[in-house]
Amino acid sequence: MERIVTDETLDGLAEDDPAAMRSRRDLQRIHRVMGTRSILVKALRGLSASRPQGVPLRVLELGAGDGSLMLGVAQALKGEWPAVELTLLDRQRLVTRETLARYASLGWVARSEVVDVFDWAASPSTAANGLLQPGKSGHCDVIVTNLFLHHFEGPALAQLLAAIASRTGRFFACEPHRARLALAGSHLIGAIGANAVTREDAVLSVRAGFRDQEISTLWPPLEAGWTLQEYSAGLFSHCFRAEKNETFKGKGTKQ
Ligand SMILES: C[S@@+](CC[C@H](N)C(=O)[O-])C[C@H]1O[C@@H](n2cnc3c(N)ncnc32)[C@H](O)[C@@H]1O
């Protein structure tokens, strides 16, 4: 099945459009069906992000939507992970104060950043002294994406992956698996009460999804010292994980 990237209906709707609001609620149910939270929790547990005691772990989610998926992850990791500073980046303003307060109740300091990811990618990640800028969405310990990379065609995706590789030593993505079973599932999404926007976008997402080593192929080729893994997870997901080897981690990331 050839990869076809098409604009999704939800992306063209305003934040407060009732159909968009309903579709975002559908997305939460779709995540339950896809088992996204468990996939993420398992992957993030495996990313050996160690920080000196008392130094918060800086996590950035790109295309974070309303932040509810990561909130479920924060709940599952409660007591396991150190303090976390989380940035939820999306080009739409979707994260509510209530959601930020729920993160705070779990000990995570969450903030939302409303910006197009390509503006983020183009912004300088290094200071005048050549070192990566700490904090905000400059340098992060972990970058995560969910149902996000599939929005982009090869060249744009390669550009985005290069920006990610330059700003973190650990990256994890959970995307639609482009396969017959996932495509059949996407056609049946109406069975869980999804609206027309979600029904249409589910099919487009699978067609734009990934298989085999497609994301690894686009990872910056000149970057040494990375371990890449790409695999299918559950019935409908395709995951990509990149981790910079310890000996390379310090390079350029001193803060
Ligand atoms: C399918 S939703 C996934 C939301 C969330 N990650 C989840 O899994 O529930 C894709 C999100 O990507 C955001 N998005 C799409 N293109 C973007 C861009 N160029 N820059 C930043 N965010 C973008 C959309 O606004 C939307 O919230």
**What confidence tens digit (pLDDT) does each residue in 58-86 have?**
999 999 999 999 999 999 998 888 889 99
Please name every residue paired with 108 in a beta bridge, in sequence order, or none if there are none.
84
In a domain, 75, yes or no: yes
Cα–Cα distance measured from residue 91 to residue 81, given in angstroms and rounded to the nearest whole number = 28
190 vs 195: CA distance, rounded Å: 7
The type of residue at 32 is R
Beta bridge partners of 177: 210
Instruction: Confirm if 36 and 28 have CB atoms less than 8 A apart.
Output: no
Question: CB under 8 Å to 160, separation ≥6 — which residues?
Answer: 117, 118, 121, 149, 152
Q: Is residue 232 part of a domain?
A: yes
Q: What pLDDT does residue 50 have? A: 65
Ligand 1 neighbour 27 (Cβ under 6 A): yes
User: pTM score > 0.75 for this model?
Assistant: yes
Alpha helices (H) in the chain, listed in sequence order: 18-34, 36-46, 68-76, 97-105, 117-122, 154-165, 180-187, 196-207, 214-218, 246-249
- Ligand 1 close to Cβ of residue 63 (< 6 A): yes
Q: Could you give the angle at which helices 18-34 and 36-46 cross, rounded to 10 degrees? A: 60
137 lies in a domain? yes
Which CATH number does the domain housing residue 185 bear?
Answer: 3.40.50.150
Q: Is the CB of 147 under 6 A from ligand 1?
A: yes
Q: Best substitution site from 11, 174, 175 to test ligand 1's pocket, by max atoms within 8 Å of Cβ?
A: 11
Distance in angstroms (rounded) separating the CA atoms of residues 47 and 99:
25
Q: Is the CB of 30 under 6 A from ligand 1?
A: no
How many CB atoms sit inside 10 A of residue 222's CB? 6
Q: Is the CB of 112 under 6 A from ligand 1?
A: no
In the chain, what is the greatest distance between 2 CA atoms, to the nearest angstrom?
55
Q: Is 20 in the pocket of ligand 1 (CB under 6 A)?
A: no
- CA 220 vs. chain centroid, Å, equals 18
The tens place of each residue's pLDDT in the chain, 255 residues long, gives: 899 999 999 999 999 999 999 999 999 999 999 999 999 999 998 876 666 777 889 999 999 999 999 999 999 998 888 889 999 999 999 999 999 999 999 999 999 999 999 999 998 765 444 444 444 446 899 999 999 999 999 999 999 999 999 999 999 999 999 999 999 999 999 999 999 999 999 999 999 999 999 999 999 976 678 999 999 999 999 999 999 987 655 444 332
Q: What confidence score (pLDDT) does residue 123 get?
A: 86
Ligand 1 atom with minimal separation from the 24 CA = 9
How many angstroms from the chain centroid is the CA of residue 197? 21
Domains of the chain: total: 1
Q: Is 67 in the pocket of ligand 1 (CB under 6 A)?
A: no
Parent domain of 195: 10-43+54-249
Residue 1 lies in a domain: no
Is 2 a domain residue? Answer: no
Q: Which two tokens stand for residue 100?
A: 């930020």
Q: Judge if the beta carbon of residue 26 lies within 6 A of ligand 1.
A: no
Q: For residue 48, what pLDDT is reported?
A: 60
Pair of tokens at residue 78 = 């409660």
- CB of residue 34 inside a 6 A radius of ligand 1: no
Q: If you take atom 1 of ligand 1, which residue's CA is the nearest one?
A: 147
Is residue 82 domain-resident?
A: yes
Indicate whether 174 belongs to any domain: yes
Choose the residue to mutate in 91, 146, 152 for probing ligand 1, maximizing ligand atoms within 8 Å of C-beta.
Answer: 91
C-alpha of residue 214 to centroid of ligand 1, in Å: 20
Quick check: is 92 in a domain?
yes
* Ligand 1 pocket, residue 148 CB under 6 Å: yes
